[in-house]
């Protein structure tokens, strides 16, 4: 159930970040002049750790995006309902968390569809975002996503907290606070078995970034800044 950052490096595909970023097929971050940051949480939901994180987000008026695993959505539908009710966004993170570059296309489609169904059954909502397990992708996965109406979302390379490795609260805190830039997509996990480090780190990170003037937005909100930037470039260049 873990996201290895190594899988997300350009070697995972014959076409690199620049190619997919320019085409708008995959999003790593959204450079903007606005002081906004998108926190993302993978591998949940969990009735305990996700609920605690939701409480904290509420306390700091923070919106975030949860990339949920379908078989856990079936287990904890009420947590996914709560995520949406409290203004967060829910994205598809596969049904059973296999590496998508190692499975056939039929299995891939099943994983995508079963998770869409699980989210829909739990909430009546249809997800428009997908994050592949481990961040692994290739051309075929990108195309399947597009066909399924899903936009692939990865994360800022300087905001990979590695919280799933339980590196210690300080390391998670420092990673985010030292690297914080407008338009970042921060990678965290709301379910890491036996760890509260993500939660403890957020208790420090959220008030500090708020103090610095940042607001915390969902991925769809962040993407609206991408459109603004694009329009600005078109008008001014």
> Binding residues for Zn ion, per CB under 5 A?
3, 42-43, 133
Among residues 41 and 199, whose Cβ is nearest to Zn ion?
Answer: 41
**H helix runs in the chain, sequence order:** 17-23, 49-59, 70-75, 77-85, 105-123, 139-147, 169-179, 197-211, 219-236
Phi/psi at 95 (5° precision): -90, -40
Asked if 73 and 124 touch (Cβ cutoff 8 Å), the reply is: no
Cβ atoms of 113 and 150 closer than 8 Å:
no
Identify whether 189 is a catalytic site residue: yes
Residue among 88, 93, 189, 190 flagged as catalytic = 189
The whole-angstrom separation of Cα 160 and Cα 207 is: 20
- Nearer to Zn ion among residue 132 and residue 183 (C-beta): 132
Active site residues: 42, 189
């Amino acid at each position: 159930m873990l996201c290895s950052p190594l899988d997300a490096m350009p070697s995972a595909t014959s076409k690199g970040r620049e190619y997919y970023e320019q085409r708008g097929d995959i999003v790593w971050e959204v450079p903007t002049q606005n002081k906004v940051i998108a926190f993302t949480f993978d591998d949940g939901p969990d009735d305990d750790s996700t609920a605690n994180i939701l409480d904290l987000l509420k306390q700091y008026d923070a919106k975030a995006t949860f990339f949920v695993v379908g078989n856990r959505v079936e287990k904890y539908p009420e947590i996914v309902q709560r995520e949406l009710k409290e203004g967060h966004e829910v994205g598809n993170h596969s049904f059973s968390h296999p590496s998508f570059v190692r499975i056939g296309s039929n299995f891939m489609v099943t994983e995508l569809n079963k998770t869409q169904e699980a989210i829909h059954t739990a909430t009546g909502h249809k997800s428009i975002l997908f994050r592949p397990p481990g961040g692994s992708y290739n051309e075929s996965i990108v195309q399947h996503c597009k066909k399924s109406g899903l936009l692939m979302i990865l994360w800022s390379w300087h905001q990979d907290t590695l919280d799933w490795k339980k590196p210690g609260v300080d390391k998670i805190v420092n990673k985010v606070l030292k690297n914080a830039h407008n338009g970042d997509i921060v990678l965290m996990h709301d379910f890491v078995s036996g760890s509260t480090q993500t939660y403890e780190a957020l208790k420090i990170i959220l008030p500090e970034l708020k103090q610095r003037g940042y607001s915390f937005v969902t991925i769809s909100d962040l993407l609206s800044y991408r459109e603004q930037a694009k329009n600005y470039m078109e008008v001014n260049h």
